[in-house]
Amino acid sequence: MTYATRHVLLVLGASLLLCPISGCGLIRHASEQAQEEFTPLFESDPVRYSVEILIEGQAQDASEIRAAMERHSLLVQMREQLPDGIIGLMRRARIDRENAVKLLHSLGYYDGSAETNVEEPKDKGQSAKVTLTLIPGPQYHIGRANLSYHPTPEPLPPFPGITPEPAPASLPLQEGEKAEADEVLAAVEDIPQALHRSGYPEADIASTRYTLNKTLKTLNADVVINPGPAAVMGEARINGSDNVRPEYLQKLVTWQNGEPWDDRRIQAYRRELQSLGLFRFVDVKAAPSSLGVHEAPGDALKLPVLVNVREASFRTVSASARYATDTGMGVQGEWQHRNLFGAGEKLTLKAPFAQDKRGVQADFEKPAFGSRDQKLLTGASYLREDTDAYETTALTAYVGLERKISSDWWGSIKALGEEGTVTRGVKDEYRYASLIFTLRRDTRNDIMNPVKGTYLQWDASPTTGYYNGNFTGISTKATASAYHAPFGVDWLVLAARTSLGSFMGADINNIPPSLRFYCGGGGSVRGYSYQAIGPKDKYGDPRGGASFHEINLEARFRVTKDIGIVPFLDGGMVYEDEFPRLFQDFQWGAGIGLRYYTPIGPVRLDIAVPLDKKTDDNGYQLYISIGQTF
């Protein structure tokens, strides 16, 4: 190393050693530069704000516009989630301005615009103010609304008893109506849906053209529909049914072979399969036209229906429990097989074990018996009942048919026989046979927790038998219930039920105690013990009657998603006469219930007090069960 080289290195080394002491300019400059790079450019603390929505001009539906904007406003919906600084607030305001213009256009204000103004808080801790101003301008109306088909729809062959609706000749839009986007689009989309119900399963929108006339302030629509081939309904091709026999599913089809295509039949068949409890997946759809056939030259295309299912487990084991202060604790085990012989046959075995009822019960259903809408019903039970009114041990058997008359109506006929012993002070034998006719109408939206709809049932049972002598008579009973949500949502449901019955033609002393009418208890008039209302025998026990009348009223308040409160009023009376004296001599009970809503139905806890308390009535009654009272 030369002398000059050593001298240069010495000078550089001394300079580096002196930098920390003297404050090296190069290092100091780099440090200041780094510090400047990490200095925040704006405040990023959360900002509170208020929102004001203004509608400028003379729009007739200004309040509706404001309400719609509030539903779609990011500023309103996220008011509790504060934006990160004023920049975040301005970003929300910009999105709302864009949403406001889209909203105005959707409501028919195609010249509409919007403005936003963000006022920053003057002092720390104060709220910013955002003003969103919508300027609707004139509202557009429907002008020209043309509908055309390309190609022209093929004619459908005639079918006995079915005449499909003709292809729509025009759009369901009236000249001069408000040109609201949702209404216009829905009207256009309804055309293919109507064709799917009228013989053209592949109908689709070929093209749409919407134009605005700025001078006349009108919206013009020109729509072209491709109807696709005219088709009739063919066979159901079932895939995925391994243990359920396909011929059983074929029997349940909701259409006739060769009838004009109707998508409603497809939807009804899908609902039918879903209701069986046999499948965890059901898909029903039209086959593509490439799979269709023309059975003869000139015939319409016959399209099969593709049915894909995945089977569920057919066996279930369940248990339920109930408690009431009058009847005590009760449990019931249940085993069910829903596909016993491969055609949806349902066998249900029950074993109730409670203070008032113990034994075994078997019920069997054979669906599609003779026809798709008819069931064979049969069953038997061996039960011991122990109540204040009587003690019975009986063997019961029945067989019958139930038929679906329409979408809401059912009818059934059932032959039932019972033989056993009954103890009321002394032990007696009894036996009887009944032919039970039932007519039922059910429009409830949910059996376990109805919110709307009605339920009606009428039973008539000619009966003959022996108890303290031969007897023959006819027992009738009618029940009606209704459910109404006055505000359109289920946070309040008003429910009412009334029942009445009569046993005519037989002396009360010859009617077996299990066939008489009783009132009182959890499913009747709450607040009174089970069967306690009505005539008493010389020992003070319920005697039962030849007729009765009951009424139940409830107001079901849903406080939260899972919790509800139900105040209720019940009333009823049992009469020794053959015909009930409506609302006369009623005993009333009132109380309040708690509901805990679960996916399988509400868990019910009711506490009730008698309003017409007798000396032998308790001060209150408590009931715990699953499902609404009615």
Q: Are residues 504 and 437 in the same domain?
A: yes
- Of 274, 289, 311, the position where a domain reaches its end is 311
Query: What is the CB neighbour count within 10 angstroms for residue 237?
Result: 14
Category of 488 on φ-ψ map: left (φ > 0), alpha (ψ -120 to 50) or beta? left
Mean pLDDT, contiguous 10-residue spans, the chain (630 residues): 41 37 33 43 75 87 93 94 92 96 96 95 88 96 96 92 93 94 95 96 97 96 96 96 95 95 96 95 95 87 96 94 89 96 97 94 96 96 94 97 95 98 92 98 93 97 97 98 93 97 95 95 94 90 95 96 96 95 94 94 95 86 93
Q: In the block, which residue shows the tokens 């009615």?
A: 630
- Of 206, 226, 246, the position where a domain reaches its end is 226
Q: Are residues 198 and 237 in the same domain?
A: no
The residue range of the domain holding 163 is 141-226
- CATH number for the domain spanning 446: value is 2.40.160.50
Q: Are residues 332 and 348 in the same domain?
A: yes
Q: Are residues 510 and 494 in the same domain?
A: yes
Taking only the tens place, the pLDDT of each residue in 156-203 is 999 999 999 999 999 999 999 999 999 999 999 999 999 999 999 999
The answer as to whether 548 is a domain residue is yes
The answer as to whether 357 is a domain residue is yes
Of the chain, the end-to-end C-alpha distance in Å amounts to 108
Q: Are residues 363 and 491 in the same domain?
A: yes
Q: Are 550 and 571 in contact (CB under 8 A)?
A: yes
- The predicted structure's pLDDT at residue 43: 52
- The predicted structure's pLDDT at residue 618: 87
The answer as to whether 42 is a domain residue is no
Distance CA 351, CA 362 (A): 9
The alpha helices in 38-148, defined as continuous H runs, are 62-72, 74-77, 85-106
- CATH number for the domain spanning 252: value is 3.10.20.310
Q: Are 366 and 342 in contact (CB under 8 A)?
A: no
Closest C-alpha among 361, 363, 355 to residue 331: 355
The answer as to whether 334 is a domain residue is yes
The answer as to whether 390 is a domain residue is yes
Query: What is the CB neighbour count within 10 angstroms for residue 276?
Result: 19
Distance CA 230, CA 226 (A): 11
Q: Are residues 221 and 341 in the same domain?
A: no
Distance CA 196, CA 227 (A): 9
- The predicted structure's pLDDT at residue 298: 78
Q: Are residues 115 and 78 in the same domain?
A: yes
- CATH number for the domain spanning 197: value is 3.10.20
- Of 274, 296, 311, the position where a domain reaches its end is 311
Number of folded domains that form the chain: 5
The answer as to whether 498 is a domain residue is yes
Q: Are residues 246 and 366 in the same domain?
A: no
Q: Are residues 360 and 466 in the same domain?
A: yes
Q: In the block, which residue shows the tokens 């009942």?
A: 385
- The predicted structure's pLDDT at residue 355: 87
| Length of the chain as a residue count | 630
The answer as to whether 356 is a domain residue is yes
Closest C-alpha among 417, 339, 422 to residue 379: 417
The answer as to whether 44 is a domain residue is no
* Strand pairing report for 141-149 and 218-226: parallel
Q: Are residues 442 and 341 in the same domain?
A: yes
- SS3 (DSSP) at 550: strand
Closest C-alpha among 526, 521, 517, 522 to residue 549: 517
Q: Are residues 479 and 618 in the same domain?
A: yes
Q: Are 511 and 555 in contact (CB under 8 A)?
A: no
Q: Are residues 567 and 554 in the same domain?
A: yes
Please state the pTM of the whole predicted model.
Answer: 0.77
